[in-house]
Amino acid sequence: MLKDVQVQVDAWTQQFKIPYWQPLEILARLTEETGELARELNHRFGPKKKKASEDVKDVGDEMGDIIFTLACLANSQRIDLDDCWKRVMDKCYGRDKDRFEKK
């Protein structure tokens, strides 16, 4: 699943002389992209309402940029995001199985 995302990112970045930035540089980019998502969400759901609430395309674009940035960080550090994802799901059904009130 997430492997496909990582492979597609690597195919694009390997065209360039410097395929991946340094970890703290990628983190700064992630902070920037998270900020852009925050701005979109405040425009739509907060006090800065400027946009129709049915139009969530821009929110999705910012989420796409965050996923791209995460894939760069993962590839640069040879981290397998599907493994990470499996551990998240294991935690949900293990440690966090009664975390919220059930239906």
Inter-residue contact 71 to 5 (CB < 8 Å): yes
Smallest separation, CB 27 to its own copies (Å):
5
Calpha distance 26→34 (Å, rounded): 12
Angle between helices 81-93 and 57-76 (to 10 degrees): 110
**Window 1-20: contact mask with its own copies (x via CB under 8 A):** xx-xx--x---x-xxxxx--
- Judged by the rule CB under 8 A, the positions of this chain that interact with its own copies are 1-2, 4-5, 8, 12, 14-18, 21-25, 27-39, 41-42, 44-47, 56, 59-61, 63-68, 70, 73-74, 77-81, 83-85, 87-89, 92-93, 100-103
